Amino acid sequence: MRLNNKFLPLSRAEMEERGWDAPDFIFVSGDAYVDHPSFGVAIISRVLEAAGDNVAILAQPDYKSCEPFKEYGRPRLGFLVTSGNIDSMVAHYTVAKKKRQYDYYSPGGKAGLRPDRAVIVYCNRIREAYGDVPIILGGIEASLRRFAHYDYWNNKIRRSILVDSRADILAYGMGEKSILRIAELLQKGAQIKKIRDVRGTVFLCNRGDSIHFDSAETYDYDRLKMDKSAYARAFEIQYKNQDAISGKAVIEYYGDKMLVQNPPMPPLERDALDAVYALPYTRNYHPSYESAGGIPAIAEVKFSITHTRGCFGACNFCALAFHQGRTVRSRSPESVLAEAKIIAAMPYFKGYIHDVGGPTANFRHPSCDKQLKHGVCTNKKCLVPKPCPHLKVDHSEYMRLLSDIEALPGIKKVFVRSRIRFDYLLLDKSDKFFRQLVERHVSGQLKVAPEHCSPDVLRAMGKPPISVYRRFCDEYFRLSREYNKEQYLVPYLMSSHPGSTLSDAIELALLLKKSGYSPEQVQDFYPTPGTVSTVMYYTGINPLTGKSIYVSTDYREKRMQRALLQFNKRENASLIREALTLCRREDLIGNSPHCLVPSEYNRSRKTATPNFPSKKPQTEGGKGKKSGKNKRLIARPKRKYSKKTNQNHKKQK
């Protein structure tokens, strides 16, 4: 692996410095240009460059006219179009549909430099500028909107983004192999409309045209937008055909046209994945952004390493199963160590690798041997509702990898900040990895995702029972005490997920109160394309079971669920009282220690009530608490700390 300080062209002047008359591909992106392997544009452009193609970057062009899209002239082979690392609507709007004021992927965090539905807008401008030039879509926005999909912001079913954008072909998932094959065919003179046999792509053709793979049909768009049960069934067919071994082509109809998703491209195996991460990334944003304050998104990943792809956890609210897939592949230890050496030699590196992670940090191999021959199971998951008996649990290579990185010159510490799948960790018959994690790789706090405590909600999420999380907590804090460490857990919690009622939110609030934990942040369920949970939200049907499910769609009820999870905030008091009254839980309103919120007449009091503490509640092991078995959601190790230690921890947080 080598480091080349030469960025790809970001302007015509930079292109001409290279002696090009025109690029082979122009890569249009809704993000600023960051040449780091955590950014899709960087990976795909470097992969094409390594194959001999000239790629120029058109980052965040002014979309109000087609003139900025003529920066480089007409490309020899075509345009590549992406909204960037995240969906443009998610980048622009909160779950309450309010405009965000900050964009991590733009210079200085400035918002508004890309349009809503960026892929569609960019493609329309390209067509305006160059007519029938080949346009290839990719990235998360295109990948997750490749079929007809529920759009939370319009509250309706939208057509495939390939149809709305008028692009020629869409590469979904992790597109290195797909884009290389498309580029190869274009180099040979193939017409873009005739490219129909590449795995990992979606194309539009006439109804009745022959296709190259066995197929599964869904429905016509006109039915999908009117019939929620048909939409749920269509998603089930799509979801069950996302495996490269067992998946078929999936067909969706638009009048006399036919949308065809070819089966997924097989994931990159270890050698190929190593080669992708060995490409000459500069590992920084383009220097033209320096005066604006740089690109904020680089801060989280600059000194981090991605060692895996894919996730067999398959949480229902996560789009990974629809994008990267459920089969896990990992880089070789040698490849990861080579990248760690590059990071250690970078300016401003202080000796700390912030993360060696991925979609799930402690997955490094396929979940079982059967996957390698037959693909992932279409009718069950690996970890829930119970772990599959064929599941292979092995942390040994990951343990050695973390230790070997830490032993490199210039590296003081290696942390794991990606989410750990705690139910998988507990299945390991050896506690060696758990011990090593707690002793050496936690930077004060570890992020974990119980998400909720209600059995019904956890089943709807595709998460393990809360008892599994409690067992993890017990062991985590026991080991922290054993190693004399003051360490915390940061649990992710979600409100208003399909299946969650106000009563379920009250149950979680009571558990939080018992735990002495007051979450600063709670994530409202955000319906985004490509997830099982979003289908539940729109249809009221679990597409994997066909059963009906309760869905909170009322804005006020969603606010009440969120408020309950943050019951210690004074501004939430009226909403909490309303929720408790609706659920006939007035016993939780008052000044008793078990109550969640004070009575109405206490609002004017200036002194704090037991339910609105003036100081953060003590957690287990803190002053005045009795030690014993941990039955709490979150706790603190049972020991006292100096004022200096606590001050240092606050700085870390």
Q: What is the mean pLDDT of the chain?
A: 91
Which long-range contacts link 580-587 to residues 24+ away (Cβ below 8 Å)? 580/506, 582/502, 583/502, 583/503, 583/506, 585/506
pLDDT at 633: 53
Surface-to-core class of residue 413, CB atoms within 10 Å of its CB (0-12 exposed, 13-18 middle, 19+ buried): middle
Residue 461 CA from chain centroid, whole number: 15
Q: How confident is the model at residue 653 (pLDDT cuts 50, 70, 90)?
A: very low
pLDDT at 600: 82
Q: How far apart are CA 59 and CA 26, in angstroms?
A: 10
503 — alpha (psi -120 to 50), left (phi > 0) or beta?
alpha
Surface-to-core class of residue 196, CB atoms within 10 Å of its CB (0-12 exposed, 13-18 middle, 19+ buried): middle
DSSP 607-632: SPPTTS-SSPPP-TTSTTPPPS---S
Rg (CA), the chain: 26
Q: How confident is the model at residue 516 (pLDDT cuts 50, 70, 90)?
A: confident
pLDDT at 419: 87
> Which structure tokens are listed for 77?
């082979």
What confidence tens digit (pLDDT) does each residue in 339-376 have?
999 999 999 999 999 999 999 999 999 999 999 999 99
Class of domain 12-197: alpha beta
Q: What is the mean pLDDT of the segment spanning 237-256?
A: 96
pLDDT at 607: 38
The domain over range 303-443 is classified in CATH as 3.30.750.210: yes
pLDDT at 253: 98
Q: What is the mean pLDDT of the segment spanning 157-172?
A: 98
* Amino acid at the residue 387: P
What confidence tens digit (pLDDT) does each residue in 25-46 have?
999 999 999 999 999 999 999 9
Residue 131 has pLDDT above 70, yes or no: yes
309's enclosing H/E stretch is strand 308-309
Q: How far apart are CA 137 and CA 517, in angstroms?
A: 45
Q: How confident is the model at residue 632 (pLDDT cuts 50, 70, 90)?
A: very low
What confidence tens digit (pLDDT) does each residue in 578-606 have?
999 999 999 999 999 999 999 986 554 44
Residue 249 has pLDDT above 60, yes or no: yes
pLDDT at 601: 62
Q: How far apart are CA 525 and CA 530, in angstroms?
A: 14
Q: What is the mean pLDDT of the segment spanning 155-166?
A: 97
Query: Which range is most confident: 199-213, 519-533, 629-643?
Result: 199-213
Q: What is the mean pLDDT of the segment spanning 84-89?
A: 96
pLDDT at 521: 81
Residue 484 has pLDDT above 70, yes or no: yes
pLDDT at 150: 98
pLDDT at 517: 84
Q: How far apart are CA 290 and CA 273, in angstroms?
A: 31
Going from N- to C-terminal start, the domains of the chain cover: 12-197, 303-443
Question: Over pLDDT 70: what percentage of the chain?
Answer: 91
DSSP 364-387: -S-S-THHHHH-S-SS--SSSSS-
Q: What is the mean pLDDT of the segment spanning 318-335?
A: 94
Who's near 13: CB < 8 A, 6+ residues apart? none
616 vs 573, which has greater pLDDT? 573
Residue 175 has pLDDT above 70, yes or no: yes
Q: What is the mean pLDDT of the segment spanning 196-213?
A: 96
227 — alpha (psi -120 to 50), left (phi > 0) or beta?
beta
Residue 635 has pLDDT above 90, yes or no: no
